[in-house]
Structure 1
């Protein structure tokens, strides 16, 4: 594929295939069509990658279906060895993959490095978890019978991943699927396919047999429609918006196809008055502006007890103003650009709506000035107060660098506000009071709660939401079970 732009990272680009990966081979695809990958910091074209045609997607499914017969029969130890080798290669190539991530996503290089480490951690964790896919022997109630429960791979799996964490979210799906004995067709977001391709190169170099994992990039609606129409694809795992998730559920109904859906979030943060205010303010700024607010578990509604309101707000504004906005390849950058113009315009729309309805901008609230910001999708880290519940920032996921702050008086009131949303992915609680903590955590309607932890997702534990944030779990033993079916074997001994 053609490389474009005058980049210092040209050697990194030359080292990667940047093609479709089907049946163990890198291919330009049958249509000859390509799609540009844009650097959101500069709007330059990094590289052109192939658009998969319907025929390419069908070839990938064919390859996965053929490979399933062999891969599912390999021992867990054989599969684990390949996954462990892939994890080692990802770690060896950390800097290369991290720079690709910063180029196509825009996030600071220090955040990209951490994500690559987590990606490797998923492959290593599931390499070990593959060996712990235990069955059960169930006590019989009728003499002369035995009951076995065995867990087997569901079959061919399609994974659809978003742009904001292109390594982490791919590994979170692909690693457990492969560990379970499934074969995979992966479709990364067309805006950020480069990291996925680099990870698949690690899988190939680790000795993954042809057809076991395939990668296609291109039109999301066209590709997903092929996944849903093909009966050989037994399960689809999707991370994205609730709107798209609802459409996928409708398509899945035709064949009763298994789904895992990690959808939208609208995470609240509740700051109680017993906290160290400076630590809580610094924590909130770190949590909110990680990946420029473009995370599904990003704090979107920050509720602060009125007793500490003035001091907390002042310190949050001070810490926010200290953030360095710039190109993610600069080691000193704290906050990079938004992913594209649509993302930028949504942030602007939310801030303009809030201001029109009475909100006050304490810092940010506009595109930055300066030569380096003339191109790219930039918006200053923003803090808002005087928030009302009819504003877009109160009821929608902004997915950007906007922090709305709201005071509260008592615990019951703020829990009601926190739960007043159709979403239920994550929530955060800042307190040192153990009784308050237990009460609030148990009453919050979310799949995860971070207590002084703004990154609760980890490969050892399940990640998932409730309500319209989806269903199905990723991470931990629970993540492996999503790719298994339980078979009951009932045996009569004396026949």
Structure 2
């Protein structure tokens, strides 16, 4: 089993259904492009509704099969531990595949893939900790208790920015609980998910427990979210697509877990070390070339230190090293898609037209070595206003708008004046102020004197148009299980059949 990028290069990647590679019934394939040179490097099968149905039926069959359904919780945990070991063993190969697919820094992909086994181990330990309760009732001769059960076939649609890290956050708990899964990865970054499928089979998971169908969202994704046998949808991606998926799920009365867009406020007060805060803002918006839903792309700075902060932010941004993502010295690689590059350019244009000051960046790099790729300079738009279009919409690129504020009251109004509510950050030495901000800001995750710090033990998820449902910690186990109430009458008495027993 060769899981290297070299083995994938130039290949045609088929679906993975019931532990086997399956070709598309239409015979159609679509190219995946290397963001560093805009050239195709492999093709992925393009699923239609019939292909999706094949995968869902395999998952449905596996869910009912005693080989999976009758497996004890402890034994499911053992399978996840084996998978964790295999992911750790192949972390470098998986990281290299993802870097080739989406252009993110190899060192970041290494960090993500080396952390992924810990997530599988965490939920492996959780597999036999999912338990119900005995419920006291006002009937002495009755036992009332609850059970936590798997829900069935879960459809997952994963994004292109961190495919395996974001998939792991839902996949690990799903498997720990005993569900079966059909994944539709982004058509731009499918290779690592298909490689993971090989490892899941090798770990000993029964055929059909984990299946991968690839292809365009408008066809494969639509078919998966509309399928009658998919009982829950987990989606990470744009708010616009999330609305479409939620509508499909609502028509069938099934639930969703949605992690959608963000336009997160990143706040700097004048009482902090400005260099440390600048470093935090750079990490919050320029890491991953800004292609992260938690990007702190709206930066609010206290008026007394505003000019000094912008000056230092520009100086630090100027030192960011743009280059090939496999170069250890590179700090900012290309954007993942040509369309994303076009979008970033368009929104920077909106910002300048609306009156923001271009402090640095705002163009493609001029170096010949980067000319073919989808690179864009880290960009600071100063003297921005919160009502500017580039401050309202998620850009998903290396662009930050900087806005001055006078006091805490004005700040909170600005921070919460957004359709999103995924994350927020604040830099201050005043713990009272920090706690007031954490209490009052509309965000599912709040960072104080740090930013973009993640842990799979912590529940995360957004408010408003950033989605709903949680991932991480025990909360995600509730997302992918169902609660059943069981009532046992051991009185031996015959009850009046026309009167509900309340006592």
Within 5 Å, give how 1:195-214 maps onto structure 2: 195-214=192-211
Answer yes or no: is the 8 Å Cα contact 1:17–1:26 preserved in 2: no
- Tell me if 1:346 matches 2:343: yes
Residues 156-188 of structure 1, C-alpha deviations (whole Å, 9 max, x = no match): 100001101111111111111111110000010
Secondary structure of the equivalent of 2:144? strand
- 1:17 Cα deviation (Å)? 8.7
Within 5 Å, give how 1:346-365 maps onto structure 2: 346-365=343-362
Residues 380-430 of structure 1, C-alpha deviations (whole Å, 9 max, x = no match): 011111212332221111110111111111011101100001111111111
Bigger CA drift: 114-123 or 398-407?
A: 114-123
> What is the distance in 2 between the residues matched to 1:261 and 1:61?
20
- 2:404 pairs with one of 382, 407, 418: 407
- Tell me if 1:216 matches 2:213: yes
- 1:29 pairs with one of 24, 27, 31: 24
Answer yes or no: is the 8 Å Cα contact 2:158–2:167 preserved in 1: yes
Within 5 Å, give how 1:62-461 maps onto structure 2: 62-69=57-64, 70=66, 71-461=68-458
> What is the distance in 2 between the residues matched to 1:369 and 1:224?
38
> What is the distance in 1 between the residues matched to 2:5 and 2:477?
38
> What is the distance in 1 between the residues matched to 2:12 and 2:337?
24
Bigger CA drift: 449-458 or 95-104?
A: 449-458
Answer yes or no: is the 8 Å Cα contact 2:12–2:44 preserved in 1: no
Residues 196-225 of structure 1, C-alpha deviations (whole Å, 9 max, x = no match): 112222111111110000000002122233
Equivalent position of 1:45 in the other structure: 40
> What is the distance in 2 between the residues matched to 1:11 and 1:358?
47
- 1:258 Cα deviation (Å)? 1.4
- 1:28 Cα deviation (Å)? 2.4
Equivalent position of 1:473 in the other structure: 470
TM-score (norm 1): 0.96
- 1:18 Cα deviation (Å)? 3.5
Secondary structure of the equivalent of 2:334? coil
Q: How many corresponding residue pairs?
A: 488
- 1:12 Cα deviation (Å)? 4.7
Answer yes or no: is the 8 Å Cα contact 1:449–1:456 preserved in 2: no
- 1:226 Cα deviation (Å)? 2.3
> What is the distance in 2 between the residues matched to 1:454 and 1:434?
16
> What is the distance in 2 between the residues matched to 1:119 and 1:16?
26
> What is the distance in 2 between the residues matched to 1:210 and 1:66?
9
Secondary structure of the equivalent of 1:292? helix
> What is the distance in 2 between the residues matched to 1:45 and 1:225?
25
- 2:485 pairs with one of 484, 488, 493: 488
Compute the RMSD of aligned alpha carbons: 1.7
1:262–1:10 Cα change, 3 Å = closer
> What is the distance in 2 between the residues matched to 1:202 and 1:88?
10
Bigger CA drift: 14-23 or 162-171?
A: 14-23
Answer yes or no: is the 8 Å Cα contact 1:186–1:214 preserved in 2: yes
Equivalent position of 2:52 in the other structure: 57
Residues 10-64 of structure 1, C-alpha deviations (whole Å, 9 max, x = no match): 6453799943110110122222211111011111111112112322211111110
Secondary structure of the equivalent of 2:24? coil
